[in-house]
Structure 1
């Protein structure tokens, strides 16, 4: 009986921010995947290859690569990509854009339900080795990173205006 309470693992999170720019402007910035290095807390490099791109990521002393495939490219509405590492499915990252008066309500989301069966265990082990983040803490870490990402996106859009 005693001991810490057990909490259920969180498999998806989202964060939102309203920016004073039209959806098309926000979408153009997000769809230029090379610009992720400007606002992401982890991405330090991007190598675009058509509908796919390789992300080079870093957290403290950990560095890892991901292969991403753009799965939603709906200008002014949504941009999303599926992430794999070593051929193993990891997660979907995306951005939904909703007009809000003169600006845009930007929602960044992450869904980690692509990991299944034995691949899930391998992908989670690799995730721990490469990012230093245990699976149970991944959602909280991603939520905090999303807040920073959205703030940096807004600042980048303001600077470019």
Structure 2
């Protein structure tokens, strides 16, 4: 698959301290406030289920928090029907004006029949071919980071 992007990163400096940004991110119920796809989140300890929507497509994502380092990084793995799909995360770096937030996504659909099945399910549920997911996520990250910044400015 020549040219397919398997990971994407976007960064934005947010005028709030890392602890404020981390608190917003770690409260996964708030993800619907800034993500253009998330419409609802049901937290269950270190796991949560997110309901996502894009146009007429609606799907769920089962997630497990894999990194919870207050003020530094928050990340979770996304699976569908037990199949690995992606890792989403946020790295926080203090700056003079606040926090540089780097949102990252890594496609975990790597090989074999499980990859093909996860890609097919992704297409059916989201309407997006796997090869175009990175570009869609990059645009979504920019929106997410802008909305997160606005929420953190209000909180600070």
TM class, shorter-length: over 0.9
Aligned with 1:152: secondary structure?
A: helix
| Residue 114 (structure 1) shift | 4.3
Distance 2:138 2:98 in 1: 23
Equivalence for 1:40: 35
**Residues 5-154 of structure 1 correspond to what in structure 2 (within 5 A)?**
7-154=2-149
Aligned with 1:80: secondary structure?
A: strand
Aligned with 1:98: secondary structure?
A: strand
With the length of structure 2 as denominator, give the TM-score of the two structures: 0.97
Distance 1:62 1:85 in 2: 15
Distance 1:157 1:77 in 2: 16
Equivalence for 1:3: none
| Residue 159 (structure 1) shift | 2.4
Please say if residues 17 and 150 of structure 1, whose CA atoms lie closer than 8 Å, have aligned partners that are also in contact.
yes
Largest Rg, 1 or 2: 1
Residue by residue, what CA displacement relative to the aligned partner does 1:83-117 show, whole Å, maximum 9, x if unpaired?
A: 00111110000000000113000000000034431
With the length of structure 1 as denominator, give the TM-score of the two structures: 0.94
Structure 1 alignment gaps of length 5 or more: 1-5
Structure 2 alignment gaps of length 5 or more: none
Aligned with 1:30: secondary structure?
A: helix
Please say if residues 19 and 154 of structure 1, whose CA atoms lie closer than 8 Å, have aligned partners that are also in contact.
yes
Residue by residue, what CA displacement relative to the aligned partner does 1:32-80 show, whole Å, maximum 9, x if unpaired?
A: 0000000001000000000000000000000001100000000000000
Q: How many residues align?
A: 156
